[in-house]
Amino acid sequence: MSIGKVWLVGAGPGDIGLLTKKAIEVIEQADFIAYDALVGDEILCMLPEKVEKVSVGKRSGKHSVPQEETNQILLNEALKGKKVVRLKGGDPFVFGRGGEELELLSEHGVPFEVVPGITSAVAVPAYAGIPVTHRDYTSSFHVITGHPRKDGQDRTDYEALVRMNATLVFLMSIRAMGHVMEKLIQAGMDPDMPAAVLEQGTRYCQRRVVSTVSALEEDSRKAKIQTPAIIVVGKVCALSEEFSWYEKRELAGRQIVVTRARNKAGRLTKELRDAGAEVLEIPMIDTTPIRPEQVDLSELLAESEEREVWITFTSPTGVETFFGTTLAGKKTDLRRLLRNDVDLKFAVIGEATAKELERYGWMADLMPEVYNGKELGKALVQMAGKDAVIYLLRAKEGSEELIEELDAGNIPYRDIAIYETVCRENSPLADMIKEKIENEQIDRVTFTSASTVRGFVQTMKNMDFTKVPALCIGEQTAREAEKYHMQIEISDQATIAGMVKKLKELCKAQEER
């Protein structure tokens, strides 16, 4: 068997947006991923689901894997022929022990590459409004560890640091903070020199304490600052207030769970992240097309006597599946499916579905004002002529409400399932999410359909669902969430944009309280 390869990859300080393009590419082709505790939660959620993953770092007090063992794991997996990704917080060579991990690989002739990452030493200050250099204050910055060496000795040359009149960034120094500050003052630094401690930088929960070298330790203790955090010393810290930006965005400080199918989550996630939220994508459903040969479209064929044909879609997935999979798979198109003299019309449930339809070159003729099955049914009853027939091209076991309206209006319809929604039953991330909800760290869990609620309940198993702060896209989804007595809010409009708007309103109301 041929030998594999190892990629030593920097994941950046936490925010998924700071993951490099190359890192994403490398992660997507991995067979095995070993990650450590500093890798952000957003990033953990995006790691490919079917790939073997191990955590080799300390997380909330749990034991970490010794360095030698990590080195050995990387070697063993590579020798099995795998593409191994070693994912590390920040940059792998900035106090990341990346060098040690390469030594063993190099000895055994295992090929490797290094993908640099954005280091916390620069990014964390930036997210706190602190430029590490500034023409008026300093012309260099230095990255130092305040962590004592194995023998307990501190060999840092504090006099040299003070003499340089530079910005000093200390990593792994929270426990040694008092000692480091004292040494700086002893070496001649002005006790009133601005200094800051920055906790969990670039993440939704980032905090900063800006103080002076003499008071930093006490102020930090009062604020209960914990690791991971960095210390910045220098005049640039005084700019933090003026240049702070991270906390100013509408959804800053919020952690939100998105439960849509992985390929569908994109827009909601993006809009929430753009507004400053940290978004954990945990898919609770999968949508899978029904195989084209199993979808019977013969009714749509020429035999149909009706002159007015309404093709109806209740989701963008329906449109995409019908044109992209069903028709494409059957190697046919609408001209061949329908009689020449029919009056073809399209009905859609809402904006997103209409847009998807446009992508395939068709304009919707009907869209209800309120985007749900019931209203779509009512609108169809109103618009359809007396010789009309409605074709519902949608998920298996779709909403009953739509059919009830059509039945009530005495309109003939055919319900044709073109895809299936399958609820998830487990997720490797379930425990993480459960813990966060129980500790009230999650602001909202978003549900975009009743099936996402069902998938969530099945996946989380026996947790206390009354603690789940749910945001539902519409009434039907809310009814499902009510069964589990979740804390429910409902979007005013059943769209992704509506959900984002509602979230912003909820957050604003909470802040004003």
**Of positions 228, 318, 474, 498, contacts ligand SAH by CB under 6 A:** 228
Radius of gyration of the chain (CA): 28
CA 199/CA 171 separation, integer angstroms: 11
The single residue among 30, 34, 38, 327 that binds ligand SAH, judged by CB under 6 A, is 38
Cα torsion 355, 356, 358, 364: sign = negative
Residue 125 interacting with ligand SAH (CB under 6 A): no
| Peptide bond between residue 92 and the one before it cis (omega within 30 degrees of 0) | no
List CB contacts of 194: < 8 A, sequence separation 6 or more: 210, 211, 212, 233, 234, 235, 236, 237, 238
Least distance CB 224 / ligand SAH (angstroms): 15
3-class SS of residue 377 = helix
Our finding on whether 73 is near ligand SAH (CB under 6 A) is: no
Say which DSSP state 62 is in: P
- Of these residues, 36, 41, 91, 443, which one is catalytic? 36
88 or 502: CB nearest ligand SAH: 88
What type of residue is 195?
A
Largest CA distance in the chain: 95
Least distance to ligand SAH from the beta carbon of 128, Å?
10
Closer residue to ligand SAH (CB): 231 or 367? 231
Residue 246 CA to residue 205 CA, distance in Å, equals 11
Using the rule CB under 6 A, is 459 a contact of ligand SAH?
Answer: no
In angstroms, rounded to a whole number, what is the distance separating the alpha carbons of residues 171 and 181?
A: 14
- Does the active-site annotation cover 58? yes
**Whose Cβ is closer to ligand SAH: residue 89's or residue 289's?**
89
Of the ranges 226-234, 287-295, 392-400, 410-418, which one interacts with ligand SAH (CB under 6 A)? 226-234
Contact with ligand SAH (CB under 6 A) among 91, 101, 351, 443: 91
Is 57 among the residues that bind ligand SAH (CB under 6 A)?
no
Q: Which of 19, 102, 171, 265 binds ligand SAH (CB under 6 A)?
A: 171
Sole window of 90-98, 134-142, 402-410, 477-485 interacting with ligand SAH (rule: CB under 6 A) = 90-98
Nearer to ligand SAH, 65 or 172 (CB): 172
A 10 A CB-CB count for 270 gives 13
Examine residue 320 and tell whether it contacts ligand SAH (CB under 6 A).
no
Q: Is 398 in the site for ligand SAH (CB under 6 A)?
A: no
Q: Pattern of binders to ligand SAH over 191-210, x per CB under 6 A? A: -------x-xxx--------
HEC string of 181-245 equals: HHHHHHCCCCCCCEEEEEECCCCCCCEEEEEECCCHHHHHHHCCCCCCEEEEECHHHHHHHHHCC
Instruction: State which residue, 96 or 368, has the beta carbon closest to ligand SAH.
Output: 96
What are the catalytic residues? 36, 58
Write out the residues near ligand SAH by the rule CB under 6 A.
13-14, 38, 88-91, 94-96, 119-121, 124, 171-172, 198, 200-202, 227-230
